[in-house]
Amino acid sequence: MTGTAVVTSARVASVRTIGTYTVLAFDAPDIAGPAQPGQFVNIAQNAFGCLLRRPFSILDIDGDLVEIGFDTIGDGTRAIAASRPGDPLDVVGPLGSSYTVPEPGGAAMLVGGGYGAAPLFFLARLLRAQGTTSHMILGAATAPRLFAPDRAAAAADTITITTDDGSAGIRGRVTDAMDGIDARAIYACGPMPMLAAVAARANGRRCEVAVEEFMACGIGVCWTCVVPTHEEGYRHHQRACTDGPVFDGTVIAWP
């Protein structure tokens, strides 16, 4: 376990659907207090026969409430999405590294793909509170796969939408929208190919990416979430759950 992470029995506060995704909030003051954007929580649903915890990026914090946003793609996520207000959740968090919030002022670019955009909402709120402009780019294969575009429009100072099929916003990839945005730092989360493309366009700017790896244990024991990096001429293998999930995009050894 890393830093200030705790194991706690939280209570579900709300569950709602946004587009094709689920947004769940649970009451966990011990996690909400120290949480930072880019970190994640691991949730167990052993009552449903799921042996491993499921990792979820922290979407936002509201007082003692922690929000997560996710897609229902397997038994574990379906079980968690079926939770009702008042249900208990076995949660570990906050886990992992966080985005480095820049000094106040200037502008930052926030780039998200699908539900991978979730941690950028927490970051956008903190940036706005300190007076840093945030330009958010949301991308997905199709319009239904965009993550909470209406909420993004309220969270960020500007929003650009891209879809592979042109069903919403600009037809193309998130990287097609990056060149027209003036920002001193780039923050991204989404599929690995997208993150590699974003990092390739950093052009010397700070570029921090939150990788999407399956972090089964969340505490660095199982080594199932290894990310290859290259620093000072050497190749390293770092664990997304403890060394990340936020990495300097320029040091990841992209395929």
Q: Are residues 67 and 128 in the same domain?
A: no
Looking at residue 4, its pLDDT comes to: 77
Q: Compute the distance between CA of residue 254 and CA of residue 245 in angstroms, rounded to an integer.
A: 15
Q: Which of 37, 21, 204, 250 is nearest to 134 (CA)?
A: 37
- 19-28, 50-59, 92-101, 150-159: lowest mean pLDDT where? 50-59
Instruction: Extract the tokens encoding 32.
Output: 């909400």
- Residues contacting 45, CB < 8 A, separation 6+: 54, 76, 79, 80, 90
Q: What is the spatial distance between Cα 118 and Cα 138, in angstroms, rounded to a whole number? A: 10
Question: What's the CATH code of the domain at 42?
Answer: 2.40.30.10
pTM equals: 0.93
Same domain, 112 and 207: yes
Structure confidence at residue 3 (pLDDT)? 57
Closest residue by Cα to residue 45 from 13, 96, 83, 94: 83
By the 8 A CB rule, do 119 and 70 touch? no
Query: Which of 38-52, 74-88, 161-175 shows the lowest mean pLDDT across its residues?
Result: 38-52
Q: Per the structure, how many domains does the chain have?
A: 2
Q: What is the pLDDT of residue 127?
A: 96
Residue 15 confidence class, pLDDT cut points 50, 70, 90 = very high
Give the span between the Cα atoms of 48 and 55, in whole angstroms: 16
Q: Which amino acid is at 123?
A: L
Rounded Cα–Cα distance for residues 30 and 212 (Å) = 25
What rounded mean pLDDT belongs to the chain?
A: 92
DSSP one-letter code for 80: H
Same domain membership, residue 117 and residue 35: no
Shared domain check, 206 and 142? yes
